Structure 1
Amino acid sequence: MVRNEALDTVLDHLLNRNLGEAIVAMDNFLAVHPHQINTDRLFAIKTDYQLMADYWRRGFKDPQLPQLYDNLLRRMYVLYANMASNYTVRHMPYLSSLFYKGHMTARDWSPQVVKEELEAFVSDVAVLDLEPAHTSAAKRSELYAQHHDQMVELFDNILTSGLWTDSYATAMEDLLLSPTVDVNDQLLLISSVMLSSMSYFDMAKFRTLVHVYQQAIDEQVRQRALVGWVFSMDAELDGIFPEETELLKTLFDDEQCRQELVDLQKQMIYCINVEQDQATIRDEIIPDLIKTKKSQDSPIIIDWNSEEDQDPLNDILHPNEAEERLEKMENSYRKMIDMQKQGSDIYFGGFSQMKRFPFFNEIVNWLMPFDMNHPDIQSAAGKFKENRFLQSMMKNGPFCNSDKYSFLLAFEQVISQLPENIRQLLDRGEGTFTEMAPEETRTPAYIRRLYLQDLYRLFRIFSQRNAFRSIFDLEERNYLFFSSPLFFGTPLEAHFNEVTAFLLKKKRIGDAKTMLRCYDVSRRDFQYYMMSGYIGENPRMNYAKALELEPENERALAGYARALFANTLYEEALEMYEKLLQLQPDKKLYLLNKAVCQTNLRQYEEAEKILFRLNYEAPDDENVNRVLAWTLTCNGKYEQAEKLYEKLLDIEKPSPNDLLNEGYCLWFNGRIDDAAACFRRYLEETGEPKMYIIDNEDSLIREKGITEAEIQMMLYIL
């Protein structure tokens, strides 16, 4: 988005509630960018401000002064936002084109007139439904084409509009809630209001979206309005528009709203995790599906070959091979479907390649609810109106609207290339894609998920996406709306733990840290301290705080023990592991960590007792062998240690640390050249400087009687 530095200065003063400086800054801007109407508006604000200031300077105490000052701040913000919005539109060619399409027409865009026209469209469609199909087809096509043109212009008009007046917003709210207006039209307009108010906060638009969310009967309308007001919030302007907080308070008091906000936040994380999900599908699922032979008995994969010869000998030698392949394929497919049901955008990778059609040059088509009457797909819709496969896909397929349009347009291009028998199969509706149960497609979570996927495609793929503020921006973390200060001190704080735990589960460590910084001191419970310790935020202190709340909690004890060890507090860590072993005497991890602590404390004999026992129970456990080998090295039992190192290094890619430790073992045992060879390999693989060999175990090297001269000679031959 293009912004103006001088106008940003005006906003900074407004955010600091410094009206006088904001007026001066706006005066400076208008001196460079003269505009008579805006100059007159600024003059009116300046005049009212001067009258108020003069009255105050005379020593009069006006009880209405705070209210007057706030009103002037709001008027000044409206002036700023309209000018900033206009500046952005004029300096971005794409937005300028939308502005001229949406504003430079002969249409009357007043909400009352628009509502009448939209209601008339619904009536005209109803009348056409009563006519015979052969006579109504042409009329229907013309009617939908005219309506589409109107909706595109209206969408562009709202998208590039300035701030609304309260009366205009009330009329638009009535339109968006009217049962006599087509739901698809309402959905499209809500998206336009959202995109507009995301650029520059508009209290009237925000209020409209909140009221539509609260009052709408249609679930699709409710969910679009929910997403709309969530990403239209602006915590910075809360001081100028306290009504924003008041509206949110009424929302946050509603349990259903709170749960929907939690679910929405999780769904946003699924959206931005799409690259990770695509990697899982590409690397783990697709290879299994490709390697598995297609089967006519499979309910999942269409067999594009009419017949395939089978080897009778293979049936004799491997009678269960086909069933095993099919089971493996179905397991892979089921894993992908489970990802999709949980919220993963599993189709983004494939459908992102289908957005090059001219259809997607128009921003409105990225957010348009799917409709077979859309004028731009009439060619494809006419060809396939009897195709049961396609009809089923469009009606019950688990795809967002944008992907349905993509699929239909792509299907039109490839259908002629398919064999005749396959086209007949698709016409009959055989081999259909996995469908969603009708009751599932009506749930708020499902509706919201598909809309978010539409938005994700818009902000990730659309050629003009940089003209808009993305709700999926990874740097600004716009998607993490739960971290907004507007949520602090509200009932939503009770859900911070749930959201933060979800972020950790999805490995969004940076986001989890952001959320943890949002916690009020009074909300810092056991879960908070455990999560803070887990992400490395002063783990020693946080795990200690967790133990104060639950002294016998095993997870807290283990975390505190790890933190102590990381701080080289081996005696304290040893005490913690002994406590843990009282809870779980035979847990290998605790026994092994106890032995490591004892080794670092030079308690070699005690450590060896534990390690030899673990080695006896699991002779091939590399971790046990690694710790035992090092303990033996420290204890001067080099021959025994070398045997273990030989075992650890007798693999294709040994651990560099095992090379390093074997080098120490050989050095301490007087095998200088062999030790140097290990050290060289280690340095080559890790890129560490030579001195790391010495600094890493300086005290142990000197404890073993190795002199400074010997150290220097070892460094020389490396």
Structure 2
Amino acid sequence: MDNNFLSAEYIELQHTAIKKLILDQRLNEAISLLAPLVETIAQAELQYKLDEIRFSYTSMLQYMQKGVEDPERHSLYMKLLAETLEINDRMKISQLANYKYNSYYRLKASYLNSHNNKNLEIIKTELETWCIDSNLDIKDNSFESDQIRKRHEDILAEMFTYIYLNTHWDKTDKLAADSFLKTSNVAGNDLCLMVSAVTMSLLVCFDSLKMKWLLDAYLHTSTNVNQRALVGIAFNIHLYEERMHLYPEIRAQVNILNEMPEFGKELNRMHIQWLFCQETEKIDKKMREEIIPEMIKNATQNLDLPLDETDDDNEDKNPDWNNNKKQSDFEDMMREVGELQQEGADVYMSSFSQLKRYPFFEVLSNWFYPFDKQHSMVVNVLQEGTDPKNIVNLILDSTIFCDSDKYSLCFTLQHVPESQRQQMLSQLTEQQLNDFTDDMQILSAKKGDTQPNIVCRQYLHSLYRFFKLHQSRKEFPTIFDGRINIHRYHTLRDVLYKEEYLLPLANYYFSKEHFDKAAEVYSEIIGLAKGKADLFEKLGFCFQKQKEYDKAIEAYLKADMIHSDNVWTMRHLATCYRITKNYSNALSYYKKVESVLTENPNVTYYIGVCLAELKKYDEAINYFFKLDFMGSASIKSWRAIAWCSLANDKLEQAVIYYEKVLTVEPNYKDYLNAGHAYLCTKKIDQALSQYNKAYSTINSKERFIELFYQDKELLLKNGIHENDIPLLIDLL
């Protein structure tokens, strides 16, 4: 097939097929498929590299055939596999270059046409020069200062584009990139952007030199830089784990970082923050459909209205008394938002999702640039509020919003007159203002050394907006979707596969009710160390929530062995045994619970249920009478007494209690069973009346007949002739 007419889908499938061959260690086949493709794109470098791989592999096979021992053979083979993978990746990029439907390839074509001959060394020199000059020249909001800012932003855009589009660093690029990490003359925000550019470039095409650079960047002294590097490391190991075993030097670098106690701790925390981002859609939905409408509703209820004051008002009831429940609901919602925020949840996605259409966000690199009050598109918005105690500055200096949302907020305020802006900001609640003020005090106390967990969280929130809201979002990897199990990856297993890190992960899943994932991690923890009672309890609860009752029982029994006679465990064991119809064991555990919770209505009820299922009706009725005496769940106890009486040949008692049930909230089963009670006491008309009500409630003749015949043995036992049953049904 002519390469000019290959569809993008075909190119992707072809790339995937060759990648699979390489990862399956079928190198000869992969090279045979790649060779003609490389010839069609006429790239001498790739052609030369592939020929070199083929020659090395052929030579290696020949030496092996001759019986030559080579201790480096396996290492060489891994290296050849890795290099072939990289050629396959670059081949795909080259083949897709003509497809301008994709923003990456449009940007690449535009960049190539600009004849920009800059490299990282030149860009670094320009940024260092700007950093020195800016300290001298940017004094105000003058035209000259604005031009200096814009020149700086142009250099940053060039840097981002150069790195993002460069799929394969050579040694010169790597050395230049390393020098960025060593200089003190490149602004911290600029270096942050570089880390993001490297991360994004890797997400397009794997490059081992860029991956090594990110691992080096984690060692940078700036929290903002090293936390961005940490995210980039995790994202790309997640995306490329299947090939990481081919790069022992990357694994070695990870192992060196693992010698630092904070690396594993921070990576695990970042992992959980990343997982938390997956809750954003759920939170966003709740904010849009419940919390924000309630906030609007609450605001309108508290409007100050002009009222005539008369003496008669003194006798009126306080109208707020009628709103106590509504106020309570609203306060509960706001408390929930506050708790989510404390946990690090992204509660502002719904508020800012529509505010990413400003010209600022049309420049790709701007999505990743840390918030900067000196940005040319921001500085004019803030010029009217230079006082650090100004509410706008308080908000922008706080850690409440991520960088992306701070930019959105500025551009939104730009279109609001100053008077309205102050009025709008004055409506912030006292609690919100306190949060902003507290935030500033914390930052001041730390002398600018921002906490890693906050930096990482804010960066993830900004990235989430990019991957979910950017106009070309469908072209990027779905990095926030699907299973994220970096603790299981071979590359990070030595770092994260430890009880101290797995436990917070399992507890996170548990708290968010992802019981399937929580069960997996709790099981892994138990496999690593002796299981504690609470671990088995939580594991059992996870299985119970998934309706895997046998597994739940197994876990609860182990918890009971470690911590015997725990009421919570015994109660859950009883429940699982009852649900699996093992009423004898269920009864045994309910009786143990009863010895502690002597007057608990639910325990009393379920002991009666188990006894009834075991056909110990006299004992069961005693428990149901006890329940009735407690005054709890009257209809529940009446229904149970009635059924046990019917099953135990106490027909008049059954009638009495079914008549009680029928006066409250009867269901179709109550009508049916009441009919049975009347039938067995020879009250045919009353029986037919109740059967008709059951029939009407069920609204299906077939279903009614099915349910009726389920009680056939009960009716026969109480003297109803089998031949009369179809006649009774025809009387309905």
Q: TM-score scaled to structure 1, two decimals?
A: 0.84
For structure 1, which segment, 631-640 or 704-713, has the greater mean C-alpha deviation from structure 2 after superposition? 704-713
Match for residue 25 of structure 1?
33
Match for residue 653 of structure 1?
none
* 8 Å Cα contact 2:515/2:542 also seen in 1: no
Q: 2:675 aligned with 1:675, yes or no? A: no
Q: 2:503 aligned with 1:497, yes or no? A: yes
Q: Deviations over 1:404-429 (max 9, x none)?
A: 1222222222337x669848979xx9
In structure 2, the CA distance between the partners of 1:314 and 1:121, relative to structure 1 (3 Å rule), is farther
1:199 offset after TM fit, Å? 3.7
Structure 2 gaps of 5+ residues are 1-7, 444-449, 680-686
Match for residue 534 of structure 1?
544
SS at match of 1:463: coil
* 8 Å Cα contact 1:13/1:22 also seen in 2: yes
Q: C-alpha distance in 2, partners of 1:714/1:374? A: 86
Match for residue 626 of structure 2?
613
* 8 Å Cα contact 2:23/2:243 also seen in 1: yes
* AA at the equivalent of 1:125: S
* 8 Å Cα contact 1:400/1:450 also seen in 2: yes
1:104-503 mapped onto 2 (5 Å cutoff): 104-129=113-138, 133=140, 137-165=142-170, 168-176=173-181, 178-213=183-218, 215-233=219-237, 234-281=240-287, 285-286=291-292, 289-292=295-298, 308-309=306-307, 311=309, 317-318=316-317, 321=320, 333-377=334-378, 380-381=381-382, 388-396=390-398, 398-415=400-417, 422=423, 434-435=435-436, 436-438=438-440, 440=442, 442-473=450-481, 476-478=482-484, 480-488=485-493, 490-494=495-499, 495-503=501-509
Q: C-alpha distance in 2, partners of 1:614/1:40? A: 86
Q: 2:569 aligned with 1:556, yes or no? A: yes
Size of the aligned set, in residue pairs, is 691
Q: C-alpha distance in 2, partners of 1:396/1:145? A: 26
For structure 1, which segment, 5-14 or 237-246, has the greater mean C-alpha deviation from structure 2 after superposition? 237-246
* AA at the equivalent of 1:227: V
1:640-651 mapped onto 2 (5 Å cutoff): 640-649=656-665
Q: Deviations over 1:570-624 (max 9, x none)?
A: 1122122223333433333332222211121111221221222122213446655
In structure 2, the CA distance between the partners of 1:501 and 1:392, relative to structure 1 (3 Å rule), is closer
* 8 Å Cα contact 1:144/1:375 also seen in 2: yes
* 8 Å Cα contact 2:698/2:704 also seen in 1: no
* AA at the equivalent of 1:493: K
In structure 2, the CA distance between the partners of 1:342 and 1:697, relative to structure 1 (3 Å rule), is farther
Match for residue 5 of structure 2?
none
* AA at the equivalent of 2:405: D
* 8 Å Cα contact 1:155/1:364 also seen in 2: yes
1:126 offset after TM fit, Å? 0.5
1:491 offset after TM fit, Å? 5.0
* 8 Å Cα contact 2:672/2:691 also seen in 1: yes
Q: 2:585 aligned with 1:572, yes or no? A: yes
Q: C-alpha distance in 2, partners of 1:284/1:366? A: 29
Q: 2:16 aligned with 1:16, yes or no? A: no
49, 64, 81: which one pairs with 2:72? 64
1:662 offset after TM fit, Å? 3.6
In structure 2, the CA distance between the partners of 1:709 and 1:220, relative to structure 1 (3 Å rule), is farther
Q: C-alpha distance in 2, partners of 1:698/1:355? A: 68
1:672 offset after TM fit, Å? 3.2
Q: 2:655 aligned with 1:639, yes or no? A: yes
Q: C-alpha distance in 2, partners of 1:702/1:421? A: 82
1:88 offset after TM fit, Å? 5.0
Q: 2:50 aligned with 1:51, yes or no? A: no
RMSD: 3.9
Q: C-alpha distance in 2, partners of 1:350/1:452? A: 17
In structure 2, the CA distance between the partners of 1:701 and 1:157, relative to structure 1 (3 Å rule), is farther
* AA at the equivalent of 1:672: L
1:308 offset after TM fit, Å? 4.9
Q: Deviations over 1:163-211 (max 9, x none)?
A: 3345533532431453321111112221222222234433322222222
1:486 offset after TM fit, Å? 4.2
Q: C-alpha distance in 1, partners of 2:617/2:431? A: 71
SS at match of 1:559: helix
Q: 2:107 aligned with 1:98, yes or no? A: yes
Q: C-alpha distance in 1, partners of 2:61/2:555? A: 53
Q: C-alpha distance in 1, partners of 2:38/2:641? A: 77
Q: Deviations over 1:190-241 (max 9, x none)?
A: 122222223443332222222222x222212122111111111032113212
* 8 Å Cα contact 1:533/1:559 also seen in 2: no
For structure 1, which segment, 147-156 or 480-489, has the greater mean C-alpha deviation from structure 2 after superposition? 480-489
* 8 Å Cα contact 2:120/2:173 also seen in 1: yes
Q: TM-score scaled to structure 2, two decimals?
A: 0.83
Q: C-alpha distance in 1, partners of 2:117/2:307? A: 68
SS at match of 2:201: helix
* AA at the equivalent of 2:223: E
* 8 Å Cα contact 1:163/1:202 also seen in 2: yes
In structure 2, the CA distance between the partners of 1:549 and 1:255, relative to structure 1 (3 Å rule), is farther
* AA at the equivalent of 1:646: L
84, 99, 107: which one pairs with 1:76? 84
* AA at the equivalent of 1:270: F
1:6 offset after TM fit, Å? 1.6
* AA at the equivalent of 2:656: Q
1:466 offset after TM fit, Å? 0.8
SS at match of 2:142: helix
Match for residue 668 of structure 2?
659
Q: C-alpha distance in 2, partners of 1:420/1:16? A: 61
1:677 offset after TM fit, Å? 2.5
Q: Deviations over 1:236-263 (max 9, x none)?
A: 1132123343333344454433332333
* 8 Å Cα contact 2:567/2:593 also seen in 1: yes
Match for residue 684 of structure 2?
none
1:23 offset after TM fit, Å? 1.4
